[in-house]
A and B are shown apart, each in its own frame.
Chain A
Amino acid sequence: MKVIREFEDRVNTECLTGAIPGFTHLYSGQEAVAVGACEQLSDDDFIISTHRGHGHCIAKGCDVVGMMKELHARRDGLNGGKGGSMHIADIAKGMLGANGIVGAGSPIALGAAIACKLRGEGKVAASFVGDGASNQGTVFEAMNMAVVLKAPKVFIFENNGYSEHTGSSYGIGCDDVVKRIEGFGIPVFQADGFDFFSVYDAMAKALEVARHGGGPSAIYCTTIRYFGHFVGDPQLYRAKGEVEQYRDESCCLKNFRARMQASGELDLASLDAIDNEVGALIERAVNEARNAPRPQPEDLLKNVYDNY
């Protein structure tokens, strides 16, 4: 969670200084969802992400330095500098990509779940779905088909209150998304998106269903995004102080620290040591990214097809 938080904070400044080109959407505030869910998965399980994908990538174990290089559009970035923020992927880690098309991930993850079922090794696929994305037809179709095929698929719904500039209370017509998901015949485990353990436990229940032939299930979390929709969004649609209040009162990292200390599992000094390590990692990632080679003209026509 700390790696994601630091990564995103640095990406924000790197975008604002112009070192990172293109459109970038930050995940800060939502870390507990990605990490809570992915901590239950192995490299052989699949996830697919959204346009807000850095957090999911990091949680699934993608190389942070490679990601930072990719965002800086470098030749040895995770996608060779051709994908950028919205398309970061690492198939070897079971990370089937951030996705620039809202809702596109759900049916793709369904296909991965079908592959898992066929191989019979008890693996699963999960897709992350925003509140806005939950209104796309592709997501509805994937939910129904997953039920029909009893696919080992977990739909992770992350409601951060907004889709772009529109509040989810406007964009979602029913009062209860959970009922809507259940309407497809999918059991839903609700979790507190500010609390790592809550998501972690919900994911355990979902996997229990999936790994034992029970078909799809869903996790529904409420959370918040700290930054605007994209870097540079002035956020006039949000009340003043909303974000600050959440940062103060509902920070998943603060929650985690408090819980660790209370339970005595990790003391303050060890937590600080982790934070320092993370700080050094991100610093190194940025330095390496800035100094990494840029793509060459001949890279333009690489990976269009198998043979070129």
Chain B
Amino acid sequence: MTKKTMREAINEALHQEMARDPSVIVIGEDVSGGAGGSSGQRDVAGGVFGLTKGLLPKFGEHRVIDTPISESAIVGAANGAALAGLRPVAEIMFSDFIGVCFDQILNQAAKFRYMFNGAKAPLVIRMTVGAGRSAAAQHSQSVHSLLTSIPGIKVVMPSNAYDAKGLLLQAIRDNDPVMFLEHKMLYNDACEVPDGDYTIPFGEGVLVREGEHATVVATGQFVKLAVAVVDKLAEEGIRCDLIDPRTTSPLDEELILESVRETGRLVVIDESSPRCGLAADIAALAARKAFFSLRAPVVTVTPPHTPVPFAPELEREYLPDAARIEQAIRSVLAP
């Protein structure tokens, strides 16, 4: 095994799956990048964050499709290509732009199977999510809660390079529409990633740390931060289960509930808004199905109910940080 960044792991998954399965295509703005430029060079960008680099020279223009700026047509075309038997992987650079093509997700992709008597629509939409780069309110949102609330689509949120590769291979082979959410702050994070083929099933969370005092559920970029806090508290003898659900739809309810039934205390850390968000959803799950095990009110740690600000100090204020996470864990432990 070798250490790979999340960027490299995702790129490798795309290379391997396109080589294995000729029905996989990649489609999106600048996915090679450079078409029609005066230098005559193609594949200069490989997507704005370089995730699709090298695919064009290997697989050619029929399978690696640069598009005009037309998200509605990109996702619509992915929908149609999937119904026609391909396995498209569409890229929406910033998940914020799904605003432009939401009909194709909400009313089309999500409902084909249900409305069309079991029709398959095996498509993936890759998109970057999250705050942390001062990209302001239209380039920093976390849209997973919004997407998770739609029946018919699956939502994947890898928090490290290993999971990203295995989950993406699963996403492309999956027969349902999958939203694959890549956090911008994780692209350069590296860990051991197998060179070969492996998939991670959807709906299976992972127990990142084990402990009996409290259950901590974290998603996306906060898994890393939660690990640091949980490890720090462990030095004091406060031991927590730390769970990364990895997919929010389906959600590994059992893993969370089993842990809560043991610890009786739950903290959920998530980047979407506090109203109707994933953290609220998981808190409600505990209230519905593990109420009598709970020994303290569930605490959620999320940004406030506001758009994402531009100024770096406000963005830091907006995002949960180690201090808030630590304080939240301590608060559920307080007698």
Contacts and interface: CB of A to CB of B under 8 A. Distances in A.
Interface of A: 21-23, 73-74, 79, 81-87, 99-104, 132-133, 135-138, 161-173, 236-240, 242, 294-295, 297, 299-301, 304
5 contacts: A132-B69, A171-B35, A239-B38, A297-B317, A301-B304
Interface string B27-43: 00110011111111100
Contacts of A304: 305-307
Contact of A165 (B30, B40, B307): B30
A300 B310 CA distance: 10
B31 to A, nearest CB: 10
B137 interface: yes
A99 to B, nearest CB: 8
Interface stretch (B95-103, B164-172, B199-207, B208-216): B95-103
A79 B314 CA distance: 13
Given A21-B310, A73-B310, 20 more contacts: A22-B134, A73-B311, A84-B311, A86-B135, A103-B100, A138-B100, A163-B69, A164-B30, A164-B48, A165-B34, A165-B37, A165-B44, A167-B36, A167-B38, A168-B36, A170-B36, A171-B36, A237-B44, A294-B311, A299-B314
Contact of B69 (A79, A171, A299): A171
Contacts of A22: 133-136, 310
9 closest A-B pairs by beta carbon, nearest first, are A167-B36, A170-B36, A237-B37, A100-B138, A84-B310, A22-B134, A165-B33, A21-B134, A73-B311
A236 B100 contact: no
Given A86-B138, A101-B97, A136 B314 contact: no
B68 A82 contact: no
B136 A86 contact: yes
Contacts of B69: 102-103, 132-133, 135-136, 163, 171
Contacts of B41: 236-237
B236 interface: no
A102 B96 CA distance: 11
A84 B139 CA distance: 12
Contacts of A74: 311
Contacts of A84: 134, 136, 310-311
A26 B38 CA distance: 20
B312 interface: yes
A82 B311 contact: yes
Q: Which of A165, A168, A170, A239 has the most C-beta atoms of chain B within 10 angstroms of its own C-beta? A: A165
Q: Which of B34, B68, B310, B318 has the most C-beta atoms of chain A within 10 angstroms of its own C-beta? A: B310
Interface string B85-103: 0000000000011011000
Given A164-B33, A236-B41, A86 B139 contact: yes
B188 interface: no
Contact of B138 (A101, A239, A299): A101
Nearest to A302: B306
A21 B35 contact: no
Contacts of A99: 138
Contacts of A300: 304, 306, 309, 314, 317-318
A82 B314 contact: yes
A295 B310 CA distance: 10
Contacts of B70: 135-137
B306 A236 contact: no
Contacts of B68: 132, 135, 163, 166, 171-173
Q: Which of B30, B36, B304 has the most C-beta atoms of chain A within 10 angstroms of its own C-beta? A: B36
A100 B96 contact: yes
A237 B66 CA distance: 14
Contacts of A163: 68-69
Contacts of A173: 68
Nearest to B66: A166
Contact of B29 (A23, A104, A166, A297): A166
Contacts of B33: 164-166, 237
B72 interface: yes
